A and B are shown apart, each in its own frame.
Chain A
Amino acid sequence: MALLEVRDLTVVFERKGEDPFRAVDGVSFDVEPGQTVGLVGESGCGKSVTSLAIMGLLPKRGARVTGSVVYDGTELLKLSDREMRDRRGRDLGMVFQDPLSSLNPVIPIGVQVSEVLERHRGMSRKEAMSEAKDLLDKVGIPDPNRRLTEYPHQLSGGMRQRALIAIALACRPKLLIADEPTTALDVTIQAQILALMKELVQDLGTALVMITHDLGVVAGLCDEVNVLYAGKVVEKAMRHELFARPRHPYTHGLLASIPRLDAPRGEKLTPIKGSVSDNIPWAQGCAFAPRCPNALDLCFSETPAEEDQLGRLLRCHNPVVPGTPAVEEVPV
């Protein structure tokens, strides 16, 4: 049985004076113990909302969450506030995008790490502080004894993210959700943080849901990848399958727009044309249709259904033929 089973997860935001907005629209995926699953898509496609819904962190009012989120056999969406609070940080951990604003500015790092240990493992402050030191050491923060007493603004961006990872993993949750953990960091630091996360989840056997808009991050880390577009999973495949043979035009476009070291010189990147503001509603057809190079008339009138194609899930009327180069020549 999967560690996390997300079924038909839908989040609708009620908005005053406007139509309700479906930020997440029937998303389903599984995470096996120890597995790393990617959730990829452009900004605004519902990645963060999905993660917040799984963690039960969406506001009670204004957000309607339906579907099912089963963690280790327990339906999380039916838990009481208190039961969910007991699980957060203990069974499920989360790492956020901006490490500076995600740390409390007026509390020393050590106290922030030990807070969660005291909360879930019933440690005294002293025990927790000593464990916190080991944790900071483990995530590669040099001189952890000194760092324990420092405040977030005294640490560099990379160190802060390491500290946040230490906090999220302090209670050894079986599942870690990382929402764009490297987006706010310098490129060189990004690689270090990703390497650290990879090492940690392997060491601890933690399952990881890696949320990112960057297929480069997915390439180095994920076993399975879900590509999200406008709140729906449009393609789901094992990582090597997806990179070798992207079938959905959106995935194909994403791959074409990342720089590749092995690409022939002079080859141009082809960004996906248009923006999410061109989308049509899913109820009307394919949300991607106005931007899609493969679009048929059908795409504007009928919602593509999710189809299973040899272990790959695909939501498209006219998928890319395998073998079409991801990078096309663009006339100058």
Chain B
Amino acid sequence: MALGVTKKEKIDDLAESAGVSLAASAWKRLRRSPVFLIGAGITAVFVVLSILSPWLAPHDPGDPMLITQVIKARNEIPAPQPGHPLGGDLQGRDFLSRMLVGSQQTLIVGVGATLIGLTGGLILGTLAGAIGGWVDSVVMRLVDVMLSLPALLLAFSIAAMFARPSQFSVIIAISIVQIPVFARLLRGSMLAQRGSDHVLAATSLGVKRGAIIFRHMLPNSLGPVIVQSTLVLATAIIEAAALSFLGLGNPNDRVPEWGQMLGDVQKVFDTHPHLAVWPAVCIIIVALGFTLMGETLREALDPKNRR
């Protein structure tokens, strides 16, 4: 019969179009959720600004162009003026430019810490949940120890172990704190998957162990982890600010980051609160954006809400 080729082609065409995956139906629900749209809107603005910031910033964020004003006025901080709508900072650098470029560094710290934490958590959680036995016991003991310490304290301790603090040390410190959170979450859903009917059914078909783990268990375990990632993005940005505040942030302030900017203005907070308020408010808004997105995502991916 001449079925062969045409039939296969037809199937390939259809593979792109007809099926509605769970992700697709979740998206259909999310599109109509105002809370999600607000969160996604904030996040989108933040991401676009941070990517475009080098071109948007009117001045070089590291150039102390207003330093004469600082010196003249006996360490006074340059007020808003034409060309510098937010004024300058302690070193006479254009504050608006620093805020803009700071968004990029903040995003890098948040995304970097989340990705590293996520990767570590995925590896540990998959090992523990899929293999079980003593591997599970060892991994979970480690996770329990890490989770028993307050997150910030752990991040400080790790950051303090680096000889010279840098953006890298900040990212590493924050991401390590997130690893056990991701690992435990993933292990939990992997274990649930291991006992699930569809994994039993796949096993009854002779599907190999690797395929069971990576095709049947892992993809079904990722929902909560994806949600957690958006929430961790928010915490990572806040924790970066906390590290800088305690002097464990990146000391190179030619390239600003919001948390670091917040930490640097402690001494003049009484007299010039706006230097702290701008980065603080931005951090809160961005963290809120990620959190709103994460929470609505959690609801949308919840199997209980599946139609």
B184 CB → nearest A CB, Å: 22
Q: How many A-B residue pairs have CB under 8 A?
A: 112
> Does the CB pair B14–A102 fall under 8 Å?
no
User: Is the CB of A115 closer than 8 A to any CB of chain B?
Assistant: yes
**Cβ-defined partner of A145 (8 Å) among B14, B219, B307:** B14
Contact: B204 with A98, CB < 8 Å? no
Q: A85-B208, A145-B14 are in contact. Are A105 and B22 (CB under 8 A)?
A: yes
Q: Is the CB of A106 within 8 A of B22?
A: yes
A129 engages B11 (CB within 8 Å): yes
- In the complex, the answer to whether A94 meets B306 with C-beta atoms within 8 Å is no
Indicate which residue in B3, B19, B206 contacts A150 across the interface (CB closer than 8 Å).
B19
- Shortest Cβ distance from A152 into B: residue: B198
Residue of A nearest to B217 (CB): A104
Interface string of B283-296 (1 = CB under 8 A from A): 00000000000000
Contact: A102 with B205, CB < 8 Å? no
B270 partner residues in chain A, CB cutoff 8 A:
none
Q: Which residues of B contact A88 (CB under 8 A)?
A: 203-206
B8 interfacial contact with A, CB 8 Å: yes
The yes or no answer to A120 lying at the interface (CB within 8 A) is yes
Contact, CB under 8 Å: A101 / B196? yes
Question: How far in angstroms is the closest Cβ of chain B from A211?
Answer: 14
Known contacts being A88-B203, A104-B198, A164-B201, is A149 close to B220, with CB within 8 Å? Answer: no
Q: How far is the CA of A93 from the CA of B202 in the complex (A)?
A: 11
A57 to B206, CA, bound (A): 10
Chain A residues whose CB sits within 8 angstroms of the CB of B206 once the complex forms: 85-90, 116, 119-120
* B21 part of interface (Cβ distance < 8 Å): yes
Cβ-defined contact, A126 with B216, below 8 A: no
A101 touches B20 (CB 8 A): no
A106-B7 contact, Cβ under 8 Å, with A88-B203, A119-B207: no
A120: chain B residues at CB < 8 Å are 206
- Nearest neighbor of B193 in chain A, beta-carbon distance: A104
**Contact indicator A150/B20 (Cβ below 8 Å):** yes
* Contact of A110 with B11 at beta-carbon distance under 8 Å, contacts A102-B197, A115-B207, A116-B205 already known: yes
Could you tell me the dominant secondary structure of chain B's interface residues?
helix
Tell me, yes or no, whether B15 is within 8 Å of chain A by CB.
yes
Interface string of A138-155 (1 = CB under 8 A from B): 000000011011110110
* B305 at interface, CB cutoff 8 A: no
Verify B20–A102 contact, CB threshold 8 A: no
B254 within 8 A of A: no
Residue-by-residue, is A72-94 near B (CB-CB < 8 Å gives 1, otherwise 0)? Answer: 00000000000001111110011
Q: Which of B185-207 contact A (CB under 8 A)?
A: 196-198, 200-207
Given A98-B197, A115-B205, verify A151-B22 contact (CB < 8 Å): yes
CB distance from B121 to the nearest CB of A (A): 20
Does A130 touch B at the CB level, under 8 Å?
yes
User: How far is it, in angstroms, between the C-alpha of A57 and the C-alpha of B208 when the chains are bound?
Assistant: 14
Check: A168 CB closer than 8 A to any chain B CB: yes
Determine whether the beta carbon of B197 is less than 8 Å from that of A168: no
Which among B18, B20, B25, B201 is the interface contact of A96 at CB below 8 angstroms? B201
B206-228 contacts to A (CB < 8 Å): 206-208, 211, 215-216, 219-220
Q: Which of B236-280 contact A (CB under 8 A)?
A: none
Q: Do A148 and B7 touch (CB < 8 A)?
A: no
In the bound complex, CA of A35 to CA of B25 (Å): 44
Q: How far is the CA of A85 from the CA of B205 in the complex (A)?
A: 8
B200 / chain A contacts, CB cutoff of 8 Å: 57, 96, 102
A326 at the interface (CB under 8 A from B): no
A167 at the interface (CB under 8 A from B): yes
* A167/B197 contact (C-beta < 8 A), A105-B22, A130-B8, A149-B19 known: no
Q: A101-B197, A108-B19 are in contact. Are A146 and B14 (CB under 8 A)?
A: yes
Q: Assess the B11–A167 pair: CB atoms within 8 A.
A: no
Q: Is B81 an interface residue (CB 8 A)?
A: no
A102 contacts which chain B residues (CB < 8 A)? 197-198, 200-201
Q: Do A126 and B18 touch across chains, with their CB atoms under 8 A apart?
A: no
Taking CB atoms, residues of chain B closer than 8 Å to A106 are 21-22, 219-220
* A305 in the interface (beta carbon within 8 A): no
Whether a CB of chain B sits under 8 angstroms from the CB of A103 is: yes
Q: Does A47 belong to the interface (CB within 8 Å)?
A: no
- How close is B301's CB to chain A, nearest CB, in angstroms? 11
User: Can you add 5 more A-B contacts, CB < 8 Å, to A115-B202, A116-B206, A151-B22?
Assistant: A87-B206, A107-B219, A119-B211, A149-B14, A153-B25
Between A and B, 16 residue pairs with Cβ closer than 8 Å are: A85-B208, A86-B206, A89-B206, A94-B201, A94-B204, A104-B202, A104-B215, A108-B21, A116-B205, A119-B208, A126-B8, A130-B11, A148-B15, A150-B19, A151-B22, A153-B307
Spell out A's residues near B (CB within 8 Å).
Answer: 55, 57, 85-90, 93-94, 96, 98, 101-108, 110, 115-116, 119-120, 126, 129-130, 133, 145-146, 148-151, 153-154, 164, 167-168
- Which B residues form the contact surface with A (CB < 8 A)? 3-4, 7-8, 10-12, 14-15, 17-22, 25, 196-198, 200-208, 211, 215-216, 219-220, 303, 306-307
Of all A-B residue pairs in the complex, the 7 with the closest CB atoms, nearest first, are: A89-B205, A89-B206, A88-B206, A101-B197, A149-B19, A102-B201, A94-B204
